[in-house]
Structure 1
Amino acid sequence: MSALRRVWVTRARPGAERTAERLEVMGLVPLVVPLLEIRTFDVALDLTGVEALALTSLNGVAAFAALSDDRSLPVLAVGDATADAARAAGFGRVRSAGGDVTALAALIRKEARGLSILHPCAAEPAGDLAGSVGTAANVRAVPVYGAHETGAAPPEDWDAVLFHSPRAARAVTAVTGGRVAVALSAAVAAALARRGFVEVRIAAAPTEAALLQALAPGAASALGNPGPDV
């Protein structure tokens, strides 16, 4: 297989632009054609008794900010990019778990025991935060956004494609021409079965840093540590 230079980015905006920037740093050519778009739900958020927010994605930050003007609650964020987005949205007390949902659950068990925590999340969340936290805190998940298929056609000329979620993987149609798919996790890879890829690579960890490392091990070193969030 020749060098994988032209890379199709399937994730929804605004995350797609962040991935594209990282690919450019690696010397690759990003082709941003999202298979999903994010839509915020029209829900009323009841913050009565809530003592903290758990935020697990950039989309969760944006959706909460669109639904509520309250910025007084402390935020427990899954990773650095989500934490930065929360600060940019106006939250003053933000802690980053520096990892994935498992790391966030560990942070909650350590520093937020007994608290009532609201988790604004996706309709199909990537992990079960409340289940991971267990009885250490009262985590209430409220879906505030969902991913919807765009129906977009693939770019005309691409070498590899990145999949950040099973939902995006299910949205892709059969491919031809010996292309390579790179999946964020085994669950994402499973959703790519029988799609016709000549190779499906799986990131060593469910982070974008690991995803890009699986795509191009040598080039990914140019990123340093781009942060744990996807």
Structure 2
Amino acid sequence: MTGLGFEPLVAPLLRIEPIPQPAPDLTGVDALAFTSRNGVAAFARLSGERTLPVFTVGDATAGAARAAGFAVVRSAAGALADLVRLLAEAAPGPVLAPGALEPSGDLQALLAGRAEVRTLPVYRAVETGAAPPAAFDALLIHSPRAARAVAACGRFAGQTAVVISEAAAAPLTASAGLETRIAARPDEAALFEALGKPAPRV
């Protein structure tokens, strides 16, 4: 962000917590599907399995899966709908989808009749209760859960919310005073493109 001319202020409104549980039973599972890097990290802590093929929603999640030791990884390079299409076309057999306790989309329902999917909550997002900084120009939002936490902060005064997708922007409709920009693609590069550069100081 400094390269774009912004001074980053770190004030996380959500904290990611793994859900303690035994190693998952992978009997009959032919593939894994991940919709976030958090899901990859949480599953990797629970299980030493690295041989199953992995399908991911985007390239960042695919990179996290490879870094965790998975050898066969295919990225949908997009949003949840793209992962749905990839899994429907690949028809890998029974799929386990480790992810959030409160996911932003229902992968199991979206693939009903096209692929067998079993979900496994492996992490949860918990609101930190942190207050936004006293002065800032823009905030980056990566999920509907984060947008709900932002909306709970109350009114804003002309700042810009740069959001990774339409779904993540939906909870902000009641947040008066926020200009909302939505990334052209659901990835980090497009998020920074939507952020742009700050106006020159005079």
* Structure 2: segments with no counterpart, 5+ residues: none
SS in 1 for 2:39: helix
CA distance in 2, matches of 1:137, 1:176: 43
CA distance in 1, matches of 2:112, 2:3: 40
Alignment of 1:125-144 (within 5 A): 125-144=103-122
Alignment of 1:68-217 (within 5 A): 68-111=47-90, 113=91, 115-172=93-150, 173-216=153-196
Residue 68 of structure 2 aligns to which amino acid in structure 1? A
Residue 90 of structure 1 aligns to which amino acid in structure 2? G
Pair 1:26 & 2:4 matched: yes
CA distance in 2, matches of 1:40, 1:186: 27
What is residue 64 of structure 1 aligned with on the other side?
Answer: 43
SS in 2 for 1:102: helix
SS in 1 for 2:109: helix
Question: Larger deviation: 129-138 or 52-61?
Answer: 129-138
Residue 110 of structure 2 aligns to which amino acid in structure 1? S
Q: Tell me, yes or no, if the aligned pair for 1:114 and 1:136 is still in contact at 8 Å.
A: no
Displacement after TM superposition at 1:155 (Å): 1.9
CA distance in 2, matches of 1:140, 1:37: 25
Out of 46, 50, 61, the position equivalent to 2:25 is 46
SS in 2 for 1:134: coil
What is residue 6 of structure 1 aligned with on the other side?
Answer: none
Residue 99 of structure 1 aligns to which amino acid in structure 2? G
Displacement after TM superposition at 1:114 (Å): 5.5
Question: Larger deviation: 136-145 or 205-214?
Answer: 205-214
Displacement after TM superposition at 1:199 (Å): 2.0
Displacement after TM superposition at 1:30 (Å): 1.8
Q: Deviations over 1:181-201 (max 9, x none)?
A: 223334433322343324222
SS in 1 for 2:173: coil
- TM-score norm. by structure 2 comes to 0.86
What is residue 20 of structure 1 aligned with on the other side?
Answer: none
Q: 1:185/1:81 Cα in 2 relative to 1: closer, same or farther (>3 Å)?
A: closer
Q: 1:107/1:39 Cα in 2 relative to 1: closer, same or farther (>3 Å)?
A: same
Q: Tell me, yes or no, if the aligned pair for 1:55 and 1:82 is still in contact at 8 Å.
A: yes
* Structure 1: segments with no counterpart, 5+ residues: 1-22, 220-230
Residue 179 of structure 1 aligns to which amino acid in structure 2? Q
What is residue 35 of structure 1 aligned with on the other side?
Answer: 13
SS in 1 for 2:132: coil
What is residue 16 of structure 1 aligned with on the other side?
Answer: none
- TM-score norm. by structure 1 comes to 0.76
Q: How many residue pairs were aligned?
A: 195
Q: Deviations over 1:94-122 (max 9, x none)?
A: 111211211111111222x1501000011
Percentage identity across aligned positions?
Answer: 54
Q: Tell me, yes or no, if the aligned pair for 2:141 and 2:161 is still in contact at 8 Å.
A: yes
CA distance in 2, matches of 1:194, 1:79: 29
Query: What RMSD in Å do the two structures reach over aligned CA positions?
Result: 2.0
Displacement after TM superposition at 1:38 (Å): 0.4
Q: 1:103/1:186 Cα in 2 relative to 1: closer, same or farther (>3 Å)?
A: closer
